[in-house]
Amino acid sequence: KIHLKDYRPFEFIVDHVDLVFDIRDDHTRVTSKLKMKKDPARANETTPLVLNKGTFDIISVVAGDMVLLPGEYKSDDEIFSLVATPDIFELEITNILKPDENTALEGLYRSGSILCTQCEAQGFRNITPYPDRPDVMAPFSCTIVADKTRYPVLLSNGNLVKSGDLDNNRHFAVWEDPFKKPCYLFALVAGDLDVLEDRFTTASGRDVALKIYSEKENIDRCSHAMTSLKQAMAWDEKRFGREYDLDLYQIVAINDFNAGAMENKGLNIFNAKYVLADPQTATDDDFMGIQGVIAHEYFHNWTGNRITLKNWFQLSLKEGLTVFRDQEFSSDMNSRPVQRISDVKKLMAAQFPEDSGPMVHPVRPDAYIKMDNFYTMTVYEKGAEVIRMIYQLLGQALFRTGMDLYFEKFDGMAVTLEDFVGVMAKVSGRNLDQFFRWYTQSGTPAVSMTRQYDENTKSMSLTFTQATSPDRNQSEKKPFHIPVRIALINRAGETVKQDALYELTQETDTFKFENVPADIYPSVFREFTAPVRLTTDFSDQDLAFLMARDTDPFNQWHAAQTLFVNEIKNLVTAIQAGNPMAVSAGLVNAFSLALEENQKDRAFLSRALALPQETEIKDHFEIIDVEAIHQARTFLKQTLAQKLTSEFKTVYELCRSANSDDISGGAMADRSLKNLCLSYLGSLANNDVQDIVQKQFEHAGNMTDEFAAFKILSHMNADVRDKACPAFYDKWQARTLVIDKWFSVQAQSSLEDTLDQVKKLTTHKDFTMANPNKVRALIFAFAMNNPMHFHRVDGQGYEFTAERILMLDKINPQTAARLCSCFNLWKRYDENRQAMMKKQLETMAEQKELSRNLYEIVSRALE
Ligand code: ARG
Ligand code: ZN
């Protein structure tokens, strides 16, 4: 286990790295020449040189001009070391890699006909022995030699400085990256790729060549990614004054990838899912996802690459900050309120639960076994919220001043979260010491707000109380510094007191508003000012008012969600008590009024009127009653659909005019509201609505509409599903990313025999455990997004998933460990389910050869 408190700087400085990759049919030979010197501060010490190393074999070692014999260095599966070194020396190590056997997809591996790399967090050590840590930065050069027919395209970081032909149909390319970088940003790609080219001129006049590479058959699906890249480059100049710094920016789309994408200097490697799109095969959500991820990786060039991390504990320094930047970018490109809603929804649906389970950790974790397990919602999404709070506290202008200073002061360095918060404190003159607890103290603060009105002085007081539950990280929590944006709204929906920022710093804070009428509404935590669980003294009537009249669209959405959750909670109570279910008239009325406003912002409305998913609802219960939640939500959805059938049909028709291949915001908004209406109607599953859904499924002109209809059909009944699935498959079998959707729809079906279907699909010719996208489409979708079937009362959902996790652990430990988090909340279920989930975790724990990745997740869950 690695602890933050044990951090020590590396004893040596790497002045230059020169790599040669000689790619052969059944192996790749890597030669690395390191120019190194002892840290001058240690000049007279005898310091052993210890490099990280993977499980490959070493062929030769040359130190200076001495060939070292195997006895003269130490090498095992984790470490390469030399007992003593001169103060300045060169080290040349040659080793053999087998990329075809690398199913973990870390280091150098094969994806189809392409060879590529993934080094973050600690994959570079699987390529060559090296100080594999982010605070060792060096300029790299990289020579690639390969067969010209199999690998016509040879790419690495930086600039191409030389290339040419060799004997035996081989050729080479030499790349040089002038910027010092940590090895996790190294990348290499070799393959038979096509390229989409464009150009961008930076504000200061640098002409940058933009190149997006993909397999030949996909190159005509790269243009949205290219547009997004140019948008991101222009935006970073305008909003943060950041220009691109090389003459070339390259992106490669890869089918087998553990994560979404990787920001390697000048050579981003992407999961194909976040590059390839056209309206026929990608949904509007896919288009938005591509825009966001392309921008995210581009923004890393400054927040991550130019300024990097002192150690992996600081991961949120680059990820939280870069997520904040990509969220702001997407808000500026699209609808700000809708972006905010979807970001917060994601946080609540996935980060809040992380905080309530065994993986709870501060935004800056204190310890890890495998760093890859800490690429979490807490580090990324909560980390972005922490940056957003600083942004709120300082205001846009000072925040920008702080960012400018951060770039100026730390360019080319490996730094810490203290360095970042330090510049923000400096430019604002504010003390951010208490604020820094957001990085060191884990858990979601629960904040309650109550109103007190004093008739005599005509003043309204708002009292906020915060509390954070103790957990494995801290047995006692100190109060957080929490910004709260508040406005006051009157009965007519007018703003009586403009939005202003308040700050909570104690367990209890009270703010008093003088000279206000009694029937005033506070709108608090506007735009979700802080990542807290909020409870208020608002009645359902108050919430219905806020849903209709709050002047902050985010709070309107939040009020609607709270109303839905309250209603579902009541229904669950009724189910558990054996009482009849009933939906309150007030809710139906509020819903219907909102639906009438369909000429306004349709994108917003489609979010506001969407019921929370079962996985989101469960977070509001201490003990999760899977069946009751499913039944309650279904009942609420069907009741709304029944009572408002004609309204849904009207709005459905009103929103149908969008051109099928138009991906403008307006067209997307129309589709999202239309498909929300369809989903409500579809829940009724009668012949009339089945007809409408079927028609849309058969005649849709784009994937958004086709997929929306397909999803609804997959829940209707087995006959309907069994017709829709082969039809969809036959149409799209050539498009692997669409087939992923086909798998995931079936895995998430609510129909009785879903587990059997999923098991059957694991033997489908298009399914493989070796491809993370396929595993995510089928197994993750089942285990994470189909609570009714994963939590089957006979335990078969657990058994199936655990088997798959163990199978996957032998192939791809990173992804296996991620999948295993479906068991994290086992203590929150009924005794029977608890016992069954625990048993699966114990079975996994007993395996002899568990990866360290999976071991960490399983052992934390059982602790
Ligand atoms: N840095 C990449 C990104 O967020 C993600 C790398 C994921 N690596 C991992 N080991 N999970 O843009
Ligand atoms: Zn990132």
Is the model's pLDDT at 44 over the cut of 90?
A: no
Quote the pLDDT of residue 481. 99
User: Which residues are known to be catalytic?
Assistant: 297
Residue nearest to atom 9 of ligand 1 (CA): 372
Residue nearest to atom 2 of ligand 1 (CA): 262
Confidence of residue 383 (pLDDT cuts 50, 70, 90): very high
Is the model's pLDDT at 124 over the cut of 90?
A: yes
Residue nearest to atom 12 of ligand 1 (CA): 262
Minimum-distance ligand 1 atom for the alpha carbon of 121: 10
Ordered DSSP codes for 467-486? E----SS-SS-PPP-EEEEE
361: how many CB neighbours lie within 10 A of its CB? 23
Quote the pLDDT of residue 658. 84
Q: Which ligand ends up closest to the CA of 274?
A: 1
Q: How far apart are the first and last CA of the chain?
A: 15
Q: Which ligand ends up closest to the CA of 319?
A: 2
Strands 521-524 and 188-191: unpaired
Is the model's pLDDT at 700 over the cut of 90?
A: yes
The best mutation among 106, 109, 116, 120 to test binding of ligand 1, ranked by most ligand atoms within 8 Å of the C-beta, falls on 120
Is the model's pLDDT at 497 over the cut of 90?
A: yes
Using the mean position of ligand 1's atoms as its centre, give its distance from the Cα of residue 226 in Å: 21
Using the mean position of ligand 1's atoms as its centre, give its distance from the Cα of residue 375 in Å: 7
Residue nearest to atom 5 of ligand 1 (CA): 262
* Angle, helices 703-716/687-699, rounded to nearest 10 degrees: 140
677-695 residue pLDDT tens? 999 999 998 999 999 999 9
Q: Which ligand ends up closest to the CA of 324?
A: 2
Confidence of residue 237 (pLDDT cuts 50, 70, 90): very high
SS3 string of 123-147? CHHHCCCECCCCCCCEEEEEEEEEE
Is the model's pLDDT at 657 over the cut of 90?
A: no
The best mutation among 125, 186, 264, 375 to test binding of ligand 1, ranked by most ligand atoms within 8 Å of the C-beta, falls on 375
Using the mean position of ligand 2's atoms as its centre, give its distance from the Cα of residue 323 in Å: 7
Mean pLDDT on 539-562: 97
Residue nearest to atom 3 of ligand 1 (CA): 262
Residues 6 or more apart from 537 whose CB is under 8 A from it? Answer: 449, 450, 451
Using the mean position of ligand 2's atoms as its centre, give its distance from the Cα of residue 306 in Å: 14
Confidence of residue 508 (pLDDT cuts 50, 70, 90): very high
270 near 189, Cβ under 8 Å? Answer: no
Task: Determine the Cα–Cα distance for residues 182 and 134; give it in Å rounded to an integer.
Answer: 5
Minimum-distance ligand 1 atom for the alpha carbon of 375: 11
The best mutation among 119, 181, 262, 815 to test binding of ligand 1, ranked by most ligand atoms within 8 Å of the C-beta, falls on 262
What SS3 class is residue 717? Answer: coil
Using the mean position of ligand 1's atoms as its centre, give its distance from the Cα of residue 315 in Å: 10
Is the model's pLDDT at 796 over the cut of 90?
A: yes
Minimum-distance ligand 1 atom for the alpha carbon of 371: 10
Mean pLDDT on 111-127: 98
Residues 6 or more apart from 457 whose CB is under 8 A from it? Answer: 514
Minimum-distance ligand 1 atom for the alpha carbon of 297: 12
Residue nearest to atom 11 of ligand 1 (CA): 372
Ordered DSSP codes for 337-402? HHHHHHHHHHIIIIIHHHHTSTT---SS-SEES-GGGG--HIIIIIHHHHHHHHHHHH-HHHHHHH
pTM for the full predicted model: 0.99
Task: Determine the Cα–Cα distance for residues 739 and 728; give it in Å rounded to an integer.
Answer: 9
271-310 residue pLDDT tens? 999 999 999 999 999 999 999 999 999 999 999 999 999 9
Residues in contact with ligand 1 by the CB-under-6-Å rule are: 120-121, 259, 261-263, 296-297, 319, 372, 375
What SS3 class is residue 167? Answer: coil
Confidence of residue 561 (pLDDT cuts 50, 70, 90): very high
Minimum-distance ligand 1 atom for the alpha carbon of 118: 8
Query: In the predicted model, what is the mean pLDDT of the chain?
Result: 98
Is the model's pLDDT at 615 over the cut of 90?
A: yes
Mean pLDDT on 361-379: 98
Is the model's pLDDT at 45 over the cut of 90?
A: no
Task: Determine the Cα–Cα distance for residues 640 and 647; give it in Å rounded to an integer.
Answer: 10
407-419 residue pLDDT tens? 999 999 999 999 9
Mean pLDDT on 540-552: 97
Using the mean position of ligand 1's atoms as its centre, give its distance from the Cα of residue 260 in Å: 7
Quote the pLDDT of residue 598. 86
Task: Determine the Cα–Cα distance for residues 165 and 663; give it in Å rounded to an integer.
Answer: 44
Residue with tokens 């086709």: 706
Residues 6 or more apart from 17 whose CB is under 8 A from it? Answer: 32, 33, 34, 35, 130, 138, 139, 140, 141, 183
632 near 568, Cβ under 8 Å? Answer: yes
Mean pLDDT on 23-40: 97
Q: Which ligand ends up closest to the CA of 106?
A: 1
342 near 326, Cβ under 8 Å? Answer: no
Minimum-distance ligand 1 atom for the alpha carbon of 259: 7
282 near 707, Cβ under 8 Å? Answer: no
Q: Which ligand ends up closest to the CA of 270?
A: 1
Task: Determine the Cα–Cα distance for residues 18 and 31; give it in Å rounded to an integer.
Answer: 8
208 near 202, Cβ under 8 Å? Answer: yes
Residue nearest to atom 7 of ligand 1 (CA): 259
Minimum-distance ligand 1 atom for the alpha carbon of 300: 12
Using the mean position of ligand 2's atoms as its centre, give its distance from the Cα of residue 325 in Å: 10
563-595 residue pLDDT tens? 999 999 999 999 999 999 999 999 999 999 999
Using the mean position of ligand 2's atoms as its centre, give its distance from the Cα of residue 318 in Å: 7
Task: Determine the Cα–Cα distance for residues 420 and 402; give it in Å rounded to an integer.
Answer: 9
Confidence of residue 327 (pLDDT cuts 50, 70, 90): very high
The residue type of 234 is A
Quote the pLDDT of residue 372. 98
775 near 758, Cβ under 8 Å? Answer: no
Quote the pLDDT of residue 84. 85
Quote the pLDDT of residue 54. 98
Residue nearest to atom 1 of ligand 1 (CA): 262
Is the model's pLDDT at 510 over the cut of 90?
A: yes
* Edge-to-edge strand list for the sheet holding 159-165: 66-68, 57-63, 88-97, 28-38, 12-23, 138-147, 170-181, 159-165
Quote the pLDDT of residue 821. 98
Using the mean position of ligand 1's atoms as its centre, give its distance from the Cα of residue 90 in Å: 31
